[in-house]
Amino acid sequence: MAAADQLDQGRAVVETAAIRPPADRRRTVSLFSRLRTAQGQANPFPVYAELRSRGEVAAAPWGGYLLTGFDVCDRVLRSRDWLEPDSRWREQQGSGTRWTAPSSREMSRTLPALNPPEHTWVRRAAGMFDRSSLDQLRGPVARFTGRSLDTLAERLHDGEADFNALVSEELPVAVIGHWLGLPTADHARLRELTHDQVFTQELLPSASQLALSDAATAELRTYFTDLVRERRARPGDDPVSRWLAVWDTLESDRDKADEAVYFLALFVLLAALETTATLLSTMTLLLLDHPRQWQRLVLQPDLVPAAVEESLRYDPPTHVISRVSARDCVLGGVDIRKDEMVHLLVGAAHRDPARHPDPELFNLHRKPGHLAFSGGAHYCLGAPLARMEAQTLLHQLVTRFPRLTLVRRPTWAPRVAFRRLLNLDVTLV
């Protein structure tokens, strides 16, 4: 049985009884339960600090290891000795586990779940955002941002408004929908499906969350295979048509080429929506929570890129990245066997005092350095676009709404790996 399923069903304790004292294991299980409470979601960092106090590499109660140190996480991401949990690894975990759920099997065929050599050529074929394609998106991103801020302004006229719903959730789907050429009428449904699909990528999904993810994955498969079929029949000037043209040069079997493009289009949508929405809301929340930094940005908008980077460090959209060991090894003084999993607690690593002095301080003048977009071979291909969206939004925000303020504390969905704000209620003072 997979590690996550064990914890899910409250049986993690049995497997690891020989390794760690029961009180210690119970404390770790209860720490993770705290992460799912409203308070734990609002501020998971004390939990991370407690985990770090047990060493930068600590055994997880459900098997595998938790990594909280910045350097050790960075090393794992950059090393060839650590692999993605790919389809071979997932099958090995046995049937009936989260890793063999239909949604997990589907994810195992997407780019971030591939290992070399396949990963290398699929990534190369994906291309994604070079300077000229980014330049082409600059105008639309500014326009969509302006439009969502117009709606915000209208609502603020009457009092308060939910920034998360009106801006953060709208902008990423408008941008990626425009880029992929998806009908506007489909955007809301695709966004809902993404919220459900992401559960299969969570740290410890429950059976009901996996069922939601399986259903969303099936609907997304239909949507994107239809899209690929349409673009095959009527190619246009869009990424899906371009990927088809590239794959036709690499793969003589048309069905295989179509399937490769389907997996790419599916993953791009999944990768682009929640993560970017979370960044937009978190960044705004952090700045409203730090009025002096906000005022500084109002007077000095050239600090906008630094504010985006510090937000990505302070509370990144993705708090956990997982890898498995390619061979028996020693990491941070701990013996790890081939195929064992490590969870890189990126949110914790970003607050590692060995990397960042005064890590709890939200500081726009910090030396850069974060793992929000991962690192090494799987470094996020959408990072330039996510940065462009966040910087464009922040520029327009401080210019148009210098008196923006928070009405009440927001709430978060009870996740561990993928942060998600449920609201961000703001007004003007």
**CB of 341 closer than 8 Å to CB of 85:** yes
Q: List the interface residues with ligand HEM, window 95-114 (CB under 6 A).
A: 111-112
User: What residues contact residue 306 under an 8 Å CB cut-off, 6+ apart?
Assistant: 364, 365, 366
Is residue 318 at the binding interface for ligand HEM, with CB under 6 A as the rule?
yes
Contact pattern for ligand HEM over residues 230 through 259, marking x by CB under 6 A: ------------------------------
Listing DSSP states for 239-300 in one string gives: HHHHHHHHHHHH-S-HHHHHHHHHHHHHHHHHHHHHHHHHHHHHHHHHHHH-HHHHHHHHH-
Binding piece for ligand HEM, criterion CB under 6 A, among 143-151, 155-163, 273-281, 285-293:
273-281
- Nearest distance from residue 268's CB to ligand HEM, in Å? 5
By CB under 6 A, residue 4 contacts ligand HEM: no
3-state secondary structure of 330: strand
Interaction of residue 283 with ligand HEM, rule CB under 6 A: no
Residues in region 321-340 near ligand HEM by CB under 6 A: 321
The answer to whether 151 touches 264, Cβ cutoff 8 Å, is no
> Judged by CB under 6 A, does residue 70 bind ligand HEM?
no
The only residue of 268, 341, 364, 424 in contact with ligand HEM, by rule CB under 6 A = 268
For residue 374, the Cα-to-chain-centroid distance in whole angstroms is: 10
* Strand pairing report for 65-67 and 341-345: parallel
Q: How far is the CB of 391 from ligand HEM (least distance, A)?
A: 12
Of the pair 216, 271, the CB lying nearest ligand HEM is at 271
Q: Which stretch binds ligand HEM (CB under 6 A): 56-64, 242-250, 264-272, 411-419?
A: 264-272
Task: Report the amino acid identity of residue 379.
Answer: Y
Q: Which of residues 18-37 bind ligand HEM (CB under 6 A)?
A: none
Q: Return the residue of 342, 385, 394, 417 that touches ligand HEM, per CB under 6 A.
A: 385
Q: Which of 351, 378, 415, 420 binds ligand HEM (CB under 6 A)?
A: 378
C-alpha closest to that of 4 among 57, 47, 61, 88: 61
Torsion of CA 80, 85, 89, 91, to 10 degrees: -160
The size of the interface with ligand HEM (CB under 6 A), counted in residues, is 24
Pattern 335-374, ligand HEM, x by CB under 6 A: -------------------------------------xxx
Residue from 386, 388, 393, 397 that binds ligand HEM (CB under 6 A)?
Answer: 386
Unique residue bearing structure tokens 């994955």: 217
What is the distance, to the nearest Å, from the Cα of residue 53 to the centroid of all Cα atoms in its chain?
26
Q: Where would I find the H helices in 79-117?
A: 87-92, 102-107
User: Which helix (H) or strand (E) covers residue 335, if one does?
Assistant: strand 334-336
Task: Kindly list the residues in this chain that would bind ligand HEM in the complex (CB under 6 A).
Answer: 111-112, 123, 176, 267-268, 271-272, 275-276, 279, 316-318, 321, 372-374, 378, 380-382, 385-386
